[in-house]
Amino acid sequence: MGWRLHRRNYDPEFYFRGPARFVPDQPETGVLYLAPDEVNATFAFIGGLKVIRSSDLERYILSELRFPTPLRLIDLTSRDIPRMGFPLRELVESEDYTLGQDFATVALESGFDGIAFPAGPGRLFAVFGEVGSTRYAKVARDTLIPDEILKKLGVEVLPDPESGSRRVGVS
């Protein structure tokens, strides 16, 4: 279903509650951001960074999560999906998250499990769930960030003298 880049010492399935774009206005509901592939998951974390230390990179891992049943997502990347009167540009680009949170609340109350939305070079998924870490999804696999993804995103990995890492000069 989706990929998440996260700290190694944390559970990959964590439903966040706080100031974020698609967090529904329901105190017990949080959001888990996922990507359809490793490239988009890495981009969501790294963003526009062009340089990262190998020791920082080694603290993270990519996890592929699978859910036991298909999720019902409102797909904001599709031209065919009604947006219930919400303007797309403001939903995904505004620095004020209020509109996105209102949209997430309507989506949740309408029976959707989350929202697929355009982000960076592709799209991301905001999946709704009970706040905190749960065991609803299954980790299909964990992997380090592949060097070819870092290269594709134009990220250079700097050596860290203390770590002895060999993941250097990927870009």
- pLDDT reported for residue 165: 52
Strand 73-75, strand 60-66: pairing = unpaired
- pLDDT reported for residue 90: 79
Tokens 């998924």 correspond to what residue?
125
Phi and psi at residue 43, in whole multiples of 5°? -60, -40
Domain ranges for the chain, please list them. 2-158
Asked if 171 and 151 count as a contact pair (C-beta separation under 8 A), the reply is yes
| pLDDT over 50 at 171, yes or no | no
- 101/70 Cα distance (integer angstroms): 23
Average pLDDT over residues 24-39: 93
State pTM to two decimals: 0.84
- 154/163 Cα distance (integer angstroms): 22
Helix, strand or coil for residue 44?
helix
| pLDDT over 80 at 156, yes or no | yes
